[in-house]
Each structure stands twice: as C-alpha cells, then as structure tokens.
Structure 1
Amino acid sequence: MDLRRLRYFAVLAEELHFTRAAGRLRIAQPALSQQIRALEQELGAALIDRGGRGCALTPIGRLVADEASALLAQAAAARERIDAAVRGQGGRIRLAYTRSARGGRVDALVARFRAENPYVEVLAETGWTAPNVAGLLAGRLDVAFVRPPVTEPGLRCRFVDTEELLLAVPADHPLARRRAIPRELAAGEPAVMWPRENGPGMYDRIVGQVWPRGGFNLVRHEPDDEQLLRAVAGGAVVAAVPAGRARALRVPRVRLRRFTAPVPTVDIALAYPAQADNPAVMRLLALLE
C-alpha cells in the first residue's frame, strides 16, 4: 500500500474538506482528488462520500483512517530508528537485573540510559548473579547487574553501588527490641538463606561478614529475598538481607535491624564481556564514569 496516498487520506479524514486538506499537504486539489481515487481503486471500496461543501467518511473510510494513522506512526518510528542507527544512536542492548538489587541507583541508571538513548531497544530480564554471568559468557546477554565478586576471566565489572546488610528478625524475637545487633548475638540463631549456587560470591561475603567467627546456623533454604522475609515472618528464623530490597518489600511481622560496626555491606556491579564492542553497551558504561 502506498504510504504517500495513506498520508494524503489521513489528512483528508481529519479535515473532511478537499481544499483545506490540499492546503495542508501543499498540493493542488485535483492532485489530491486523483490520489484518493487511486487509493479507493487499490482497496476496491469507496472511502469518501463527496458532497458539495465538504465530504464524509464511509464506514470503510473510517476504518482505513484509523489504520492509516497507526501505519503512518509505525513507519515514522521505524524511520527514526533507522536514522538513529545510521547516526550511531540506535541499536539493542540485552540487559539482566539481579533479583536482590532493584530500585535505587540500579533503576536510576537504566532510566537515565533510556532517556538519553531513546532509539536503543532495551531487552530486560531478571535473574540471580550466577545465571546472569552464564548468560554473559554464552553471549545471550550484553550486560548484567551482578553481586561481586565475579571472578570469570572473560568478564569485567564496573562498580555501581554499595548497600548495607540488615538482619531480619521476627517481630516478637528478643533481638527485635535492639536498635543495633552485635554479631555475636546473631551467632547460632537459626538462619534462612537462598542457595549458594545462585550467587556464590555474594553468599560467601554475607556469611563472612555477618558470622565472621562461625555460628552460621543454616536451617532452611528459600529461593529469593521475598521468601526469606516471609520465612522470618513465620517466627522461626533470621536472615541477613540487603537493605534496599528488604525495605522495599515491607513484609509484615518482620523487623529490620542494623548491625553494630563494622557495618556489613554488599556491592552491586555491572558486568559485561571483556571484548564488548556494542556501542550501546559503551554508552551505558560511560554513565558510570
């Protein structure tokens, strides 16, 4: 279907007057009439009821007007994407978030990238650090938010943020009455944690900071932070969780308590292949400089 004829018809459908539509299009009225008749012949249906002082759309004309607007908008957007690619501003980036780090600087970074690169298609998903690393190594992902340390030699990491670890305790637990919890009081408490294979580096860092002298009494596994907190709400276990995620979830009957100094922390980083050559990835990384 001729997009020029569709554009002419879309303007006529708005004006419902050949002279005014021709003026907007900056063409002669007979030329507009000729193009509309050619479109009607192409479609095999009348689109316009022509009157002495104006015109009206036929039922088919109203349908074509709606479809024409959608097609023209799609064509214009496609042209913008093509032009952006030619100027080096387009492309695609396959990105993975990590489940324990949404919000804060992570979401702000991606939002800024989208705003500054409107013609880059962002294909986003969410996973644990270990699957995200596997996706990068397999070439399925271009960048991924991860919880360091990440030691794979084929990947590089850029620091994004640090957040505090809190101890989640049941609302009626004696530790809930404290404003800050010494590590020795957490030792031996029945604890819930997600499986180590989800993110070995972060798992070991949490255990090493919260239970540095032993006493990590793991009694239960849950798949993610939300389920950890729900297990804590049940009243039988405690959990060490990143502050941002824990405060965002706001699970009832759970109290979040800080540790005494030194405050335990976990980092969030943006990982990417060492040989990355995707211009969109380079622009995302540049926002971290």
Structure 2
Amino acid sequence: MDLRRLRYFLVLAEELNFTRAAHRLHIAQPALSQQIKALERDIGVPLIERHNRGCALTAVGEVVAREAGELLAHAAAAQQRIRAAVAGRQGQLRLALTRSARGGAVDALIAEFRTRNPDVDLVVTTGWTSHNIAELLAERLDAAFIRPPLDTAGLECRHIAREELLIAVPADHPLARERRVTRQRIAAEPVILWPRENGPGMHDHITQQLWPNGGPRIIREEPDDEQLLLSVAAGTGIAPVPEGRARALRIPGARLKRVTAPVPTVDLALTYKSHRMAPALKRFLNLIDALPGADG
C-alpha cells in the first residue's frame, strides 16, 4: 500500500475538507482528489462521503484512518532506526577483548562508547589474541583487541596503548628486594608464562626483549595472568606481566619489579577487516582516534 496516499488520506481525515487538507499538504486540490480516489481503488471500497461543506468518513474510512496513523508512525520510527544504523548510532558491534588487557584503557573505551551510543547492541566476549583473530577471520566478530605484532593478511590494526612490562617475583625471592632487575639477573631464573599459541607475536616479542640471549627457562605454563601471578606467589618462578593487568589483579605474595633500560613494553591494538566495516565499528574507530596520543 502506498504510504504517501495513506498520509494524504490521514490529513484529509483530520480536516474533513479537501481545500484545507490540500493546503496542509502543499499540493493542489485536484491532485489530492486523485490520490484519494487511487487509494479507494487500492482498497476496493469508498473511504469518504463527499458533500457540499466537505466530506465525512465511511465506516471503512474510519478504520483506514486509525490504522494509517499507526502504520505511518511505525514507518517513521523505522526510517529513523535505519538512518541511525547507517550513521552507526544503532545496530550491533561484536567485539572481543584480550584477557591480558582487561581494565584500564579498554574498559574505559568501551564505557565511553556505550555512553555515546546507547542504542548500539555491543556484544563483548573475551579470548586469547589467536582465538580472537580466528573468530574475526570467520566473520563472527566485527573487531577484536589483540596484542601485536600481528602478521595476518586481510586485517588492519589500530594502535590503542603501550604499557610497560613488569617482572613478577615471589615476595621472598632475592629479586624482591631490588628496585629494578637486570636481564642478566633473570636470565637463569625459572619462568612461568602462558602458551605461545595463545599469541605468538606477543610471546616472541616478550621473550626477545627480556631474554635476548637464548630465551627463558620456562618451567610452567598458565592460561592467564591471574593464574600466572598466583603461581608466582606460590614460589614457582618469576613471570613477565603487563603493568596494567598486574596492578589491577594485586595478587598477595607477588612483587612487581621494573626492568632496567631498555624498558620492555607491550602494545595493545584493535584489529578488524577494513573492507567489511559495520557503521558502528566506524564510530568505535573514531572514538579511538580521539584518544590522547592515538596514531591511527
């Protein structure tokens, strides 16, 4: 059914006068008459009864007027939702976090996006960098936070933040008494780390920075930073941990130590497919670009 004709009929039903209705609609009266007759043909019965002083609605016309009002209101709301989706103000954004970056910049970024875009359905999951990349390539995500470096064809990265890498040591370890630890002092220490397959790029980046002469002596692997720090607190060994996550967890029995220059760091980035970008993702990227120190 022609929505324009319904809108014309609704105005006529309110005015019950062709002249006034045509004036409100900014069209000529004969054109309005033609549109009403066309609507009556579409429906198959008369909708108005014409008389010298104006017109009146038939029984069917009253039903059409009532239903037309609701239908046009729904259509207008739908148009607004479509425009909002195109602009990224509505729709859905499927986003994955990386376990080692919970809290800090990531949580603040998501909270700000929710505040600015309350109508966007933000679906958030958490996984390892390698898992997040696999989900993104399978198009089950729109974007994912990861720990670079990343060497995957078809994906782009937007830098979010850089943080210092600390060394967690047991509270009763001799290194716990030192202000900063050297690479030489940690070279032979037993190390607890997470499995390399969780994030090969970050794993290699960490070991190359801290153990440049042969790699760490890994004696145990833990699935995430919390379990890693708990293992450190139990005296199993030492472990490299991003500063933000380590300080947020605050595990008793684990002491956090800085490393002497050059200071080791890890990056945080958002990765996505540039050729398949939802409008809501564009707004999320715009928010990232507005971050202090963002380099795009």
Question: TM above 0.5, one fold?
Answer: yes
Partner of 2:273: 273
Secondary structure of 1:288's match?
helix
In the TM superposition, what are the counterparts of 1:235-254 in structure 2 within 5 Å? 235-254=235-254
Q: Deviations over 1:82-101 (max 9, x none)?
A: 73433332110000000000
After TM superposition, give the deviation of residue 215 of structure 1 in Å: 4.8
2:194 partner amino acid: W
After TM superposition, give the deviation of residue 214 of structure 1 in Å: 2.2
Question: Are the counterparts in 1 of residues 207 and 215 from structure 2 also a CA contact under 8 Å?
Answer: no
Larger radius of gyration: 2
In the TM superposition, what are the counterparts of 1:24-35 in structure 2 within 5 Å? none
In the TM superposition, what are the counterparts of 1:89-168 in structure 2 within 5 Å? 89-168=89-168
Q: 1:263 to 1:82 in 2, by over 3 A?
A: farther
Q: Deviations over 1:85-138 (max 9, x none)?
A: 333321100000000001111111111111111110000000000000001000
Q: Distance in 1 between the 2:183 and 2:242 partners?
A: 16
Q: Distance in 1 between the 2:107 and 2:78 partners?
A: 24
Partner of 1:232: 232
After TM superposition, give the deviation of residue 266 of structure 1 in Å: 0.2
Paired residues in the alignment total 212
After TM superposition, give the deviation of residue 81 of structure 1 in Å: 8.4
Q: Distance in 2 between the 1:215 and 1:189 partners?
A: 11
Runs of 5+ unmatched residues, structure 1: 1-78
2:221 partner amino acid: H
Q: Deviations over 1:14-43 (max 9, x none)?
A: xxxxxxxxxxxxxxxxxxxxxxxxxxxxxx
Q: Deviations over 1:38-95 (max 9, x none)?
A: xxxxxxxxxxxxxxxxxxxxxxxxxxxxxxxxxxxxxxxxx97873433332110000
Secondary structure of 1:109's match?
helix
With normalisation by structure 1, the TM-score equals 0.71
Secondary structure of 1:287's match?
helix
Partner of 1:60: none
Identity of aligned residues (%): 56
Q: Deviations over 1:174-208 (max 9, x none)?
A: 00000100111010100011100000000000100
Q: Distance in 2 between the 1:275 and 1:131 partners?
A: 21
RMSD: 1.7
Partner of 2:185: 185
Runs of 5+ unmatched residues, structure 2: 1-75, 290-296
Partner of 2:80: 83
